[in-house]
Structure 1
Amino acid sequence: MWIQFAPLKVPMSRRLQTAAVLQWTFSFLAMAQCCILLCILLVCSQYWFLVLLYTVWLYIDWETPSRGGRRSQWVRSWTVWKYFADYFPIKLVRTAPLDPRYNYIFGFHPHGVLVVGAFGNFCTEGTGFSNLFPGLTPHLLMLPAWFRVPFFREYIMSGSLVSSDKSSASHLLSQKGGGHALVLAVGGPPEALDAKPGELTLQILKRTGFIKLALTHGAHLVPVLSFGENDLYYQVNNPPGSLLRTMQDKLQRIMGLAIPLFHGRGVFQYSLGLLPHRRPVYTVVGSPIPVAKTASPSSEEISSLHSLYIEKLKELFETHKTIYGIPKECQLVLC
């Protein structure tokens, strides 16, 4: 395989964009492990008492990720996130205003390999979320296990990430006065195994938990499609039924995490590495689907709203696909 090296002379802005994405890739793939290693090193040093103090703090603060987190507008507004968004670039597209008097569940599709669009749009101000949706506070749901990692949990909470357990979502959606937007990658980690350029397979037909949650709390549903999300990385071929896919599915069920074998580009060459490719991502936020609060929704009510949500999701795709580079004959694959 021939390696395509980056040119020596590139504008400083592009170098800063690459640096911004490099630090994000490190934080996503390795920061948690580094934080664990740091704790081990501190325990084995003369600064062991710092870990003891932090353990006390962790005990006191244990429920915070399930109680709205601890977002920092200062962290969300770092200049580095603007460079991060401009690297691809990532664009947030509003199709309709959202009334901040209500709470919302944003169904984000597709998951992609590393959920780049969801992070860039809803965990930072790099694409101007607060300007497009004034009065709304976004919260991206993340697997609870990550909030048990010391130090790392503080960093991810600062960007509006909260635990994806049921109590966390219920806490936010039960807040009076509205203004909360839960961002949920509906397909979850398993959908990452289907994230490949030119393909758009969504795992949604059996995903009804978010529908029941919306009915229980009267939260309006908003379908969100991130065009280009699956084009950022290549994956080793793993069709359903293959040995690799069977192993990945088993590991996902055991660990709760999908382990796609993927590659992107490097820092100084474009052929191989863990950085995502420079390809545009357009995250389109659809119109809200009003939901009446139903304390104990029946299976028929859940099924009916689920069907309506899928219908609106398909409409969103058909309306915008040609605008954002998807061939007219391309169809969503739902499973």
Structure 2
Amino acid sequence: MPPLRFAPLRLPLRRRLQTLAVLQWVFSFLLLGQLCTVLFVLALRGPLWLPALLYGLWLLADRHTPRRGGRPCAWVRAWPVWRHFRDYFPISLIRTAPLDPGRNYIFGFHPHGVLAAGAFGNFCTEATGFGGLFPGLRPHLLTLPCWFRLPFFREYAMAGGLVSSEAASLEHLLGREKGGTVAVIALGGPPESLDAHPGGLRLQLLRRKGFVRIALKFGTPLVPVFSFGENELFRQIPNPPGSRLRRFQGRLQRILGVALPLFHARGVFQYSFGLLPFRRPIHTVVGAPLELPRTPNPSGEEVELWHRRYLEKLEALFEEHKLGYGVPPERHLSFV
């Protein structure tokens, strides 16, 4: 194991604030939900049992909210901590075409990465200026339904614009007649996080077609989004497809519903090992929309056709911008 590389003692305050912002984000992603659940159980068994019981009853009554648009809070999305989070990497959002605020859209986000830092920074906060780039549009990032079963944590998640990734949730968003809604989906899902190695361009998309069927049902444009640098933030223990570790991770993912990539990067006070991401720039490029005809009952052939056209548009977006963001000309996307 190489010797530890310690961070300098003298660092600008802004750098320390950036590290602290990312530290709390990683903690929130990995441990906050479990901690909130433990606190809720302890409250039920202690002197705060009555407020905890009332909150539990309210949770039951509010259980459908995550798949009915959630409860986004502009104040939470604008917290100053997210600007420090953005500057740590840094993260930038690039618009290639204007979007009509009177319509709804599906943003297909690629690649998933280990923790989807680019998706969070761009679409769950205002740190990269989504509201200014796409005036009149409100983003909602779809994530696994299991996160919304965790008491207290679910409120925090919904405040940033997170909603359930269930089909009913997506249909609710796209069914808003006044438009102005963007449903952001990391289409590769949790399994794609297992391919999030530095330099990786393997996207799990060939069998993921449900989003196309729903887009056709509502006539919703599909917008490809590629986040350059997303896979450079962490290293993983080698797990090539077919390896024993990969098969084990696949079984766990099918049982638990979440993927468990064995990742590492840097620490808080040293640069050699830890769970904080590396400081690598993330450039999230939003492509032009692919217009789909409104087809209430699309056939399998129609779904296949528009799925193929979406892949072609995503590939064209990647090829157009890859040289500007450090991808060698001989590297290309791989769809599995």
TM-score (norm 2): 0.99
Does 1:217 pair with 2:218? yes
Q: 1:307 — aligned with what? A: 308
Q: 1:98 — aligned with what? A: 99
Specify the code of the residue in structure 1 equivalent to 2:35.
C
How far residue 328 of structure 1 moved from its aligned partner, in angstroms, is 0.8
Q: 1:16 — aligned with what? A: 17
Q: 2:140 — aligned with what? A: 139
Residue by residue over 1:280-300, the C-alpha shift from the partner in whole angstroms, topping out at 9 and shown as x without a partner, is 000000000111211000111
Q: How is 1:1-335 mapped onto 2 (pairs within 5 angstroms)?
A: 1-335=2-336
Specify the code of the residue in structure 2 equivalent to 1:222.
V
SS in 1 for 2:93: strand
Partners of 2:76 and 2:92 lie apart in 1 by 20
Residue by residue over 1:196-255, the C-alpha shift from the partner in whole angstroms, topping out at 9 and shown as x without a partner, is 001111001111111101001111100000000000000000011111001001111111
How far residue 33 of structure 1 moved from its aligned partner, in angstroms, is 0.5
SS in 2 for 1:4: coil
How far residue 43 of structure 1 moved from its aligned partner, in angstroms, is 1.8
Specify the code of the residue in structure 1 equivalent to 2:109.
F
- Residue identity (%): 60
Partners of 2:280 and 2:318 lie apart in 1 by 19
SS in 2 for 1:108: strand
How far residue 56 of structure 1 moved from its aligned partner, in angstroms, is 1.5
Partners of 2:215 and 2:171 lie apart in 1 by 9
Specify the code of the residue in structure 2 equivalent to 1:219.
T
SS in 1 for 2:242: coil
Partners of 1:200 and 1:272 lie apart in 2 by 24
Partners of 1:254 and 1:43 lie apart in 2 by 29
Partners of 2:312 and 2:52 lie apart in 1 by 51
Unaligned 5+ segments in structure 1 are: none
Partners of 1:331 and 1:295 lie apart in 2 by 35
Partners of 2:218 and 2:37 lie apart in 1 by 37
How far residue 57 of structure 1 moved from its aligned partner, in angstroms, is 1.0
Residue by residue over 1:119-169, the C-alpha shift from the partner in whole angstroms, topping out at 9 and shown as x without a partner, is 000000010100000010100001111101100000000000001111111
Partners of 2:329 and 2:269 lie apart in 1 by 36
TM-score (norm 1): 0.99
Residue by residue over 1:54-95, the C-alpha shift from the partner in whole angstroms, topping out at 9 and shown as x without a partner, is 011112211111110000000000000011001000000000
How far residue 25 of structure 1 moved from its aligned partner, in angstroms, is 0.6
Partners of 2:308 and 2:165 lie apart in 1 by 23
Partners of 1:70 and 1:325 lie apart in 2 by 38
Aligned residues: 335
SS in 2 for 1:92: strand
How far residue 48 of structure 1 moved from its aligned partner, in angstroms, is 1.0
SS in 2 for 1:3: coil
Partners of 1:331 and 1:163 lie apart in 2 by 31
Partners of 1:200 and 1:159 lie apart in 2 by 28
Partners of 1:168 and 1:241 lie apart in 2 by 34
Partners of 2:139 and 2:287 lie apart in 1 by 15
SS in 1 for 2:126: coil
Specify the code of the residue in structure 2 equivalent to 1:179.
G
SS in 2 for 1:323: helix
SS in 2 for 1:282: strand
SS in 1 for 2:324: coil
How far residue 302 of structure 1 moved from its aligned partner, in angstroms, is 0.7
Partners of 2:266 and 2:51 lie apart in 1 by 38
Partners of 1:332 and 1:68 lie apart in 2 by 32
Unaligned 5+ segments in structure 2 are: none
Spell out structure 1 runs of 4+ moving beyond 6 A. none
SS in 2 for 1:30: helix
Partners of 2:35 and 2:51 lie apart in 1 by 16
Partners of 1:241 and 1:314 lie apart in 2 by 26
SS in 1 for 2:284: strand
How far residue 44 of structure 1 moved from its aligned partner, in angstroms, is 2.1
